[in-house]
Amino acid sequence: MIERYTRPEMGRIWSEESKLEKWLQVEIAALEALAHYRYIPKDIPTQIRKKANFNIKRIHEIEKTVQHDVIAFLTNLSESVGSAGRYVHFGLTSSDILDTGLALQLKEACQILLRDLAELIAVLKKTAVEHQRTLMVGRSHGVHAEPMTFGLKMALFYAEFKRNQIRLERAADVVSYGKISGAVGTFANVPPRVEAYVCENLGLKPAPVSTQVLQRDRHAELMTTIAVIGGSLEKLATEFRNLQRTEILEVEESFGKGQKGSSAMPHKRNPITSERVAGLSRVLRGNALAALENMALWHERDITHSSVERIIIPDSMILLDYMLTTMAQVVKSLQVRKDQMRANLEKSRGMVFSQGLLLQLIEKGCSREQAYSYVQDAAKKVWDDGATLKEAVLKDKRVLKYLSTKEINSTFDYDYHTKHVGEIFKRLGLTK
């Protein structure tokens, strides 16, 4: 991933040095297991751990000849440990190291993503609670529908990201598995107890069954989960972008001192951060598709997945880390224009109360078809003549046949339409 979207902590996990450190951890853990069960001399792990080292430049030199990154790593490692190096990789296959090392990287990276998610959830919660009673118009199909609150809108995203948190926890668990089962997963040269020892030592679980590789449905589940979270981020970013349009202008991204919105138009204050997040979500979806393609391997084992994963896994983990923290900052510094929300709510001149009128007429004995027609006719006058809905129905004898002026007036009440928002907040655990 390019530096522009790479945060240092996550970037370090996916550096080549970090990858090789994980490989070394797996190799040493395997040696400790072999020594523990007396398959190799007991002092070998200590000898190797004292001297074990690797040099990335030297590994690249070796790889030019051997055309195999794990062999290049093992050759360089053996150069640093002397005669004891003959026990390195004893009974193992390359993917024992590759896949178990990758599991360590994924587990570490997922903890960062879960922390990022928790921070975004906390910001969404705070914003939802703060604006629980902040009135705005609810829209459907982009058109004014009924009154709602900005807090309710944020509560919706809070609930969605709580679900994403559960999804990611589950996916993180699914990829936190290692394997030390040999070339075709039969434990022909290293028994299962060695694998169990290694995985326990590394904080992983042993795969119940594997071929030469861990099966890629595990990684596909994580990558599709990342794409779903990216979709939620795009959904939130798209809402902010829409609400920042000049014609609406109910919220704005924070605009820093000295910031410029356009090279041509000095007045511009564009939602560039939300646009960036929305765009990056497309990369996550594309990578998820590639992860799904990686599932089908010849006889459950080839390396068509390997070249793909070198790109898609680090890139997706790095991008999601960036997107989550970036969006949390957008929400935290969001400018909420309450007065504009109220002004927009009143632009439709009372038509947001049409359903209340419809139901009142039905309760008073009017058929649904007639009631709908009466309210729709009144709404047409609002569109065509510039009247308010209240003014239109107060002049309609058909409506007055069923409803008194007092009953009509009582319908045009914003609080009535948002009276149950508090109950929704209780359901979500946002209020006591």
Query: How would residue 330 be classed by pLDDT, with cut points 50, 70 and 90?
Result: very high
- Structure letter (DSSP) for residue 140: E
- Helix, coil or strand: residue 1: coil
Closest to 378 in 3D by CA, of 404, 421, 349: 349
Question: Check: CATH 1.10.275.10 for 3-87?
Answer: yes
Highest mean pLDDT (candidates 45-54, 148-157, 253-262): 148-157
Average predicted confidence (pLDDT) for the chain:
94
* pLDDT tens digits, 255-298: 777 777 766 777 778 889 999 999 999 999 999 999 999 999 99
- Residue 267 annotated among the catalytic residues of the structure: no
* pLDDT tens digits, 13-48: 999 999 999 999 999 999 999 999 999 999 999 999
Q: Which residue among 140, 141, 267, 299 is the active-site one?
A: 141
CATH classification for the domain delimited by 94-250+264-339, as one of 1.10.3720.10, 1.10.150.20, 1.10.1060.10, 1.20.200.10: 1.20.200.10
Task: Report the C-alpha gap between 428 and 432 in whole angstroms.
Answer: 10
Percent residues over pLDDT 90 in the chain: 89
Query: How would residue 226 be classed by pLDDT, with cut points 50, 70 and 90?
Result: very high
Domain boundaries, the chain: 3-87, 94-250+264-339, 351-411
What is the reported pTM? 0.94
pLDDT of residue 1: 78
Q: Which residue among 262, 367, 373, 404 is the active-site one?
A: 262
- Residue 305 annotated among the catalytic residues of the structure: no
Q: In angstroms, what CA-CA distances link 182 with 41, 88, 186, 197, 213?
A: 21, 14, 6, 15, 9
Q: Is the pLDDT of residue 302 over 70?
A: yes
Query: How would residue 383 be classed by pLDDT, with cut points 50, 70 and 90?
Result: confident
pLDDT of residue 326: 97
Q: Of the ranges 73-77, 117-121, 301-305, 315-319, which one carries the lowest mean pLDDT score?
A: 301-305
Question: Check: CATH 1.20.272.10 for 351-411?
Answer: no
Q: In angstroms, what CA-CA distances link 338 with 36, 140, 252?
A: 67, 20, 12
pLDDT of residue 377: 93
Q: At what angle do helices 56-66 and 16-36 cross, to 10 degrees?
A: 80
Residues linked to residue 135 through DSSP beta bridges, in sequence order: 149
